[in-house]
Chains A and B, each alone.
Chain A
Amino acid sequence: MNGWQTLLYKEILRFWKVAFQTIAGPVLTAMLYLLIFGHALEDHVKVYDQVSYTAFLVPGLAMMSLLQNAFANSSSSLIMSKVMGNLVFILLTPLSYWHWFVAYVGAAVVRGLVVGLGVYAVAAFFTPISFAQPVFIVVFAVLGAAMMGTLGLIAGLWAEKFDQLAAFQNFVVMPMTFLSGVFYSIHSLPAFWQTVSHCNPFFYMIDGLRYGFFGVSDVSPWLSLAVVGGSTLLVFAIGLHLLRIGYKIRS
Chain B
Amino acid sequence: MPAISFQSISKSYTSPKGPAGSTFLAVDHVSLDIEEGEFFGLLGPNGAGKTTMISMLAGLTRPSGGSVSVLGSDVQRDYAQARRKLGVVPQELVFDPFFNIREALRIQSGYFGVRNNGLWIDELLESLGLADKAQANMRQLSGGMKRRFLVAQALVHKPPVIVLDEPTAGVDVELRQTLWQFIAKLNQQGHTVLLTTHYLEEAEALCGRIAMLKSGRIVALDHTSELLKAASSNVLRFKVDGHLPPELAAQARVTGRIVQFPAKEAVDIERYLAAVRQAGLLAEDVEIRKADLEDVFLDVMQKHAGSQATSQGAAA
Contact = CB atoms under 8 A, between A and B. Distances in A.
B153 A89 contact: yes
Contact of B96 (A2, A81, A95): A81
B97 A84 contact: yes
Given A6-B107, A96-B80, A91 B59 contact: yes
B267 to A, nearest CB: 53
A85 interface: yes
A44 interface: no
A3 interface: yes
A88 B110 contact: no
A92 interface: yes
A91 B84 CA distance: 12
A94 interface: yes
Interface in B82-124: 83-84, 86, 88, 90, 92, 94-99, 103, 107-108, 110-113, 115
A94 B60 contact: no
B96 A94 contact: no
A250 B61 contact: yes
Interface residues of A, number: 28
A251 interface: yes
Interface-centre pick from A5, A10, A88, A92 (highest chain B CB count, 10 A): A92
A2 B113 contact: yes
Residue from A81, A84, A89, A96 whose CB has the most chain B CB atoms within 10 Å:
A89
A6 B107 CA distance: 6
Contacts of B88: 92
Nearest to B154: A92
B79 interface: yes
Nearest to B93: A85
A5 B111 CA distance: 8
Nearest to A91: B60
A14 to B, nearest CB: 5
A1 interface: yes
Contacts of A93: 83, 108, 111-112
A13 B83 contact: no
A85 B115 contact: no
A92 B98 contact: no
B62 interface: yes
Contacts of B80: 94, 96
A85 B110 contact: no
A7 to B, nearest CB: 6
A251 B99 CA distance: 27
Contacts of A18: 98
A77 to B, nearest CB: 9
A86 B95 contact: yes
Given A93-B83, A94-B80, A88 B111 contact: no
Interface in B57-83: 58-62, 79-81, 83
B113 A3 contact: yes
Contact of B79 (A6, A14, A94): A94
Nearest to B163: A92
A90 interface: yes
Interface centre among A3, A6, A17, A81 (most CB of B within 10 A): A6
Which of B55, B60, B97 has most A Cβ within 10 Å?
B60
Residue from A5, A90, A251 having most chain B Cβ neighbours under 10 A: A251
Given A91-B59, A94-B80, A250-B59, A3 B94 contact: no
7 contacts: A3-B113, A10-B99, A84-B97, A85-B90, A89-B153, A94-B112, A96-B80
Given A88-B94, A94-B84, A95-B111, 8 more contacts: A6-B107, A10-B110, A84-B94, A88-B90, A91-B58, A91-B59, A94-B113, A96-B80
4 closest cross-chain pairs (CB), A and B? A6-B110, A94-B80, A85-B94, A93-B111
